[in-house]
Amino acid sequence: MKLVRYGDKGAERPGLLDADGRVRDLSDHVADISGACLTRAGLEALRALDPARLPLVEGTPQQDLRLGACVAGVGKFLAVGLNYADHAAEAGMEVPAEPILFTKWTSCIAGPDDDLTLPPDSIATDWEVELGIVIGDGGRDIAPDRAARHIAGYCVINDISERDWQLRRGGTWDKGKGYDGFGPVGPWLVTADEVPDPRALRLWLDVDGRRRQDGTTATMVFGPEEIVSYASRFTTLHPGDVIATGTPPGVGMGQKPPVYLQRGQVMRLGIDGLGQQRQRAI
C-alpha cells in the first residue's frame, strides 16, 4: 500500500493511492496515518479494504492536490549521520564504527512539495536525499533478526541541514537539522511488503535541474534493520516514529568549492518506487 495525507496544511486527511495513482479517502476508517494504524494489526485492517469502494478524492496528487507529510503525530524523528562511505569521504570524516544517531525536531516536518523558507541568517543550507524508515510495532532492545517486523514502511526524506549551525555553532548537530521545514517527508509511505530490498534502491537529487546526488542504498554502511535495532538500544521506538538513514555523496558541503541553497532555487529528489519531492527555497 501507499498511504498518504492530503489537503491543506494543518487539515490533512488520511488516504491511500489506488492502482491508478488516485487518492482514496480513509477518513471513515482511521483518524490519520499515524501510530495505531501503522502497527501490523493496523496495516492488515487497511489491506482488507477494497480501494475501489473508498471515496475518490478530487485532484491529482502533487499537482492540484497537496500532500502533507505521509506520517502524522511523529513522536521521534531520528537520523543517522555519515551512513554512506563515499559521503563520509566527501565530508572528510571517517566511516563510523557504529551508527551516528541524532535528532531532527518534529516541528521541522513538512509536506513533500512545500516551499522551504530559508532561515534569515542562513549561509549554508544544504540538501540530503535519504531513505526514511517508519516504525510500525514499537519496541526496545530489538534484535537485528527481528527488526524487520518493526518496520511499517519506507518513504523519501530530505534531511535539509544548515551546515554553519550544524558544525560551527557550538558543536551539536541538532540545531542545524531541526529548523522549521527542514524535514520534508513523503509523498507517501510505502508499506514494507512493497519494498522487497531496501538496500537496492536508487536515490537522487537535482538543484535547478542539475544532478547533485545520484546513489544507491546498496552503499549504506548500516542497513535499515541494523539501524532500527541499534536505535532501540537507546530509546523505545513507538509506532509512527521516523528514522532518516543517511545520504549518498553530492551534498553542497562536499562540492569544491561548497555550494549552498539560494532563494529561488528548486530541489527535486526521489527514490525508486517511493516517489518524488519538490521544494522551492524562498
Cβ atoms 246, 80 nearer than 8 A: yes
Distances (CA, A) of 101 to 51, 58, 141, 246, 265: 38, 40, 16, 10, 30
Q: 29's torsion region: left (phi>0), alpha (psi -120 to 50) or beta?
A: alpha
Confidence band of 171 (pLDDT split at 50, 70, 90): confident
pLDDT cut 70: percent of the chain above it? 100
- What is the pLDDT averaged over residues 154-175? 91
Query: Mean pLDDT over all residues of the chain?
Result: 96
Taking only the tens place, the pLDDT of each residue in 228-248 is: 999 999 999 999 999 999 999
Helix ranges (H only) for the chain are 40-47, 85-90, 163-168, 174-177, 224-231
Helices (H), 149-197: 163-168, 174-177
pLDDT over threshold 80, residue 88: no
Domains and CATH numbers, the chain: 71-280 (3.90.850.10)
Which alpha helices (H) appear in 128-189, and where do they start and end? 163-168, 174-177
